[in-house]
Amino acid sequence: MTDIKVIIPAYNEEDSIAKVIKDIPKIVSEVIVVNNNSTDATAENAASAGATVLTENRKGYGYACLKGINYLSEPSKQPDIIVFMDGDYSDYPEELSKVIQPILENNVDLVIGSRVKELREDGAMTPQQVFGNFLATTLMKWFFGANFTDLGPFRAIKYKTLMALEMEDKTYGWTVEMQLKIIKRRFTYAEVPVRYKKRIGVSKVSGTLKGTIFAGAKILGWIFKYSIK
């Protein structure tokens, strides 16, 4: 039987985290919530909902993801597939079964849940998110011939593939780094359309000018770095 585990980086998501965990399909053997320096009840609510809770005090999406991966590095804990999703309830966790399907059926290495416009609630993505996705994926197509349409956080990847990528970004560049390394190292990938709704609470990235600028700079930095390698 395929072992599937979920990693959820979470910063001040006390109102949403339990809802996310509750909606994750029972085929998942463990949900790991990485409490990324929250100042609210995120950790307590995640634990009460049945998740394994880790603490990463260094702020950054990549730091939180790396913490979760490190926790799973022990041989007895290594899964076949790792699924990443956000803790703000903007994803539909029940669609996890759809996101992992290309891995199970076609042996694909990475699957991105693409937040297509047709399935996206109005206002769920800010204009800067929509433009940033378009710009990043267009540049990836021009430079690398990639077919990505989104940098969506809801994604599934084979554990062995993830280890081979040697992920390193600590903050906003995590998602694009993963996709670039998949392309450059000739792993297989696919996208599946997923629904997307307005998040609970305010985004720490797209909801602030500073976050938007830093995220955009980091994403473009990774793309240009790999374009000259």
Pairwise CA distance, residues 24 & 21, whole Å: 5
Residue 206 has what pLDDT? 47
Q: Are 7 and 167 in contact (CB under 8 A)?
A: no
The CA R_g of the chain, rounded to the nearest whole Å, is: 16
Residue 124 has what pLDDT? 93
Which parts of the chain sit beneath pLDDT 50? 206-207
What percent of the chain has a predicted confidence (pLDDT) above 70?
A: 93
Q: Is the pTM of this model over 0.85?
A: yes
Residue 113 has what pLDDT? 98
Q: Helices marked H in the chain — which ranges?
A: 17-23, 42-48, 61-71, 96-106, 127-144, 159-165, 174-184, 209-227
Tell whether the torsion through CA atoms of 194, 200, 205 and 209 is positive or negative. positive
Residue 92 has what pLDDT? 98
Residue 213 has what pLDDT? 66
Q: Are 223 and 143 in contact (CB under 8 A)?
A: yes
Q: What is the DSSP letter of 228?
A: T
What's the distance, CA 55 to chain centroid?
A: 18
Q: Are 78 and 160 in contact (CB under 8 A)?
A: no
